[in-house]
Structure 1
Amino acid sequence: MSGLNAVRVGPLRQPAKQALIFVHGLGDSGSGWSFFAEFLQRDPAFAHTRFVFPNAPIMNVAANGNYPMPSWFNIYEWSDNPSKFDVPGFVNSLNVVKNFVQEQIDSGIDPQNIVVGGFSQGAALALASAVTLPVKIGGFISLSGFSRINAQLVEMKNNLNIDTPVFHGHGDQDPVISLKLGYSAKEFYTVVCGLRKYTMKVYPGMAHSTCPEEIDAVVRFIKSNLNL
């Protein structure tokens, strides 16, 4: 798994005892979220934490005029209910996330000290990982997340992380991933998939972005679910 493409930030102190894997959104890269490592490392509690920010492959995104850009899966149309979705691409990226988790386990990190999170596309993958990962981990973070390939996920899902905490933050002014889609994701993962510790917080006035209040909530979530 050494070929996994990511921006990696090592712990300030060895050995590494925890790991945060955070998956970016469409058109971004791992470096776009690497600031989060520096931000968290200001807190001594994260001195032994390793940070991994995976890089998506470059692909032609149909909804953006087939323009090549980093993307975890193709997007065929900008719609809350698209008529076509890239199921193979989504499943492939879901396996990539699984491989990043396994990489950390193989390096000696206790699975319970691993958190998987993401923004937008990455958030969708983080949520899907909550019902498909073959190992129980410490927590999942979804920032502006949504649910797709629901029928396939019902077939693929397991209950290993049914009691693993999930944090879902969403802005009520998001023009890209509407709040309606956020609520739909919560309903699917809690009602259909049975996740029992799913917390969703809505941030007034926030668009397809993040805000200090959301970041603060994420930090609290991570600290409460990792052995720091």
Structure 2
Amino acid sequence: MSTSATSLERITLEPSSPANSCVIWLHGLGDSGAGFAPIVPMLALPENHGIRFVFPHAPEQAVTINQGYVMRSWYDIKSMDLHNRADMEGVLASEKLVQGLIQEQIDLGIAAKNIVLAGFSQGGVLSLFTGLRFSQSLAGILALSCYLPTADTLPEHCHSANSTTPILQNHGEQDAVVPISAGKMANALLNEANYNVSWQSYPMEHSVLPEQLTDISTWLQARLLS
């Protein structure tokens, strides 16, 4: 991928008050930023919140497990085997794009400590991977229905800047796309390394529930509005 962060198409939702924080939310395979942008009203945030929401669209590329069809994807998925699922070259390329999105917000005056990196499925993989390795402390990392691209090990070069950053993992108990065992494996690794990680599962498949969004809203407000 030769795309740069500045050229990534995205949906940006500005708060009614001047923005003083930001949530960068990464979508899953084959989706777009439009898939999650409608959740913002469902978060029922205070009217005077200053949270900017950025929903970028992944670049389009061929995806091996989908017969090579071209779709929006943060990286190629080569197989359903967790140990050989993520194309790490693609993960690293998209990590640079996400780093660029964070830097854009910093350049706009939002401190890294007021930025939450969030994502669902493939986007959650990128939020977790990028957040653990990012060189400035973030407000939080939200990893929904996802896994670590490095399977049963933490990524290389995890940065101490985010060693205490709050991480929230959510997963569906009936998820047939990303088995809950994959999320639990990531959670165990994070716990073993003493990360500030919380886990919550829900009675759902590979999706997001209204009840879950209420819990996410509470978590976001504690990170960005308290």
TM-score (norm 2): 0.91
Mark the runs of 5 or more structure 2 residues left unpaired by the alignment.
none
Residues of 1 paired with 2:177 and 2:219: CA distance? 25
What RMSD, in angstroms, separates the aligned Cα atoms of the two structures? 1.9
Distance in 2 of aligned mates of 1:20 and 1:213: 20
What is the correspondence of 1:39-118 to structure 2 with a 5 Å cutoff?
39-40=42-43, 42-44=44-46, 47-82=49-84, 85-118=86-119
- TM-superposed deviation, 1:78: 2.0
| Aligned partners of 2:10 and 2:55 also within 8 Å | yes
Shift of residue 36, structure 1, vs aligned partner: 2.0
2 CA distance for matches of 1:46 and 1:165? 24
Q: 1:26 aligns with which of 29, 34, 51?
A: 29
| C-alpha distance 222-196 of structure 1, shift in aligned 2 (>3 A) | same
Q: 1:132 matched to which residue of 2?
A: 133
- Is 2:152–2:189's contact at 8 Å kept on the other side of the alignment? no
User: Which of these residues, 4, 15, 19, is aligned with residue 11 of structure 1?
Assistant: 15
TM-superposition CA deviations, 1:75-131 (whole Å, max 9, x none): 11123343x641110011111111111111110012221111000000011111231
Distance in 2, matches of 1:149 and 1:178, equals 16
Displaced runs of 4 or more, over 6 A: none
**1:130/1:140 contact within 8 Å kept:** yes
Tell whether 2:34 aligns with 1:35. Answer: no
Q: 1:85 to 1:112 in 2, by over 3 A?
A: closer
**What is the SS of the residue equivalent to 1:2?**
helix
Whether contact under 8 Å (1:132, 1:153) holds in the other structure is: no
SS in 2 for 1:200: strand
Is the contact made by 1:147 and 1:188 (CA closer than 8 Å) also made in structure 2?
Answer: no
- Identical-residue share of aligned pairs (%): 33
Q: TM-score, normalization: structure 1?
A: 0.90
Letter paired with 1:125: L
- In the alignment of these two chains, the number of paired residues is 222
Q: Supply the distance in 2 between the matched residues of 1:130 and 1:70 (Cα, whole angstroms).
A: 21
Distance 1:92 1:33 in 2: 23
